[in-house]
Amino acid sequence: MTDNTITITLDDVLGPDGLEGAWDAMVRKLTDRAEGKLVHSDAGQSFHKAAVKAIDAAVEERIKEKISDLMEKKIQMTDNYGSPKGDPVTFDQMIGDAIQSIATTKIDGSGRRDRYGKTPLQRALEELAAPQLKIELAKVVKEFRETAKKQMAAAMADAIEKAAR
């Protein structure tokens, strides 16, 4: 059995101005205390939190629908005079084209377009992967040299042994 009693004292609602604002304070206290009493049995949440969560889910679903519709809707690009320019495209296609353009446009060290520069991917590989690649390559070369030295020493020892017989 749950306790359905909500107690509000005058000290709870009377502010420094006395009765001024007491009604609003009483309503606020009542709703605060009632929220703690009204529990949504399924989720174990207060009624207010359950209502907010349900509203958020409904709004999120509507927003997803709108965004999905906008992403799939065809857009007709125009020139500066309003004349159609090219075939209509979806927003998804526009994003893909922009990414493709960014990835393939050659730029200089300052990020400005330069037909003799490198693509952002090439620059990223140079700046991020190349140093690590150099370290790994140095390890492989060192291992190769050690293996080659051992093999040459063994071959020379065999040749000396054969020559000494």
pLDDT digits (tens, 9 = 90+) for 112-122: 888 788 888 78
Average pLDDT for the chain? 79
Residue 35 in contact with residue 6, Cβ under 8 Å? no
Does pLDDT of 41 surpass 70? Answer: no
User: What confidence score (pLDDT) does residue 146 get?
Assistant: 92
Residue 84 in contact with residue 78, Cβ under 8 Å? yes
* Distance from C-alpha of 154 to C-alpha of 165, rounded to nearest angstrom: 17
Does pLDDT of 6 surpass 70? Answer: no
User: What confidence score (pLDDT) does residue 144 get?
Assistant: 92
**E-assigned strands of 3-160?**
39-40, 45-46, 74-75, 89-90
* Distance from C-alpha of 160 to C-alpha of 165, rounded to nearest angstrom: 9
Cβ contacts of 107 within 8 Å, gap of 6 or more: 113, 114, 117, 118, 119, 120, 123
Give the lowest-confidence range in 26-30, 37-41, 71-75, 88-92: 37-41
CA-CA-CA-CA dihedral for 53, 58, 64, 65, to nearest 10: 170
* pLDDT-above-90 percentage for the chain: 15
pLDDT tens-place string over residues 59-106: 888 888 888 888 888 989 899 998 999 899 998 888 888 888 888 888
pTM: 0.38
* Distance from C-alpha of 34 to C-alpha of 46, rounded to nearest angstrom: 9
pLDDT tens-place string over residues 127-153: 888 888 889 999 999 999 999 999 998
* Distance from C-alpha of 92 to C-alpha of 105, rounded to nearest angstrom: 20
Does pLDDT of 28 surpass 80? Answer: no
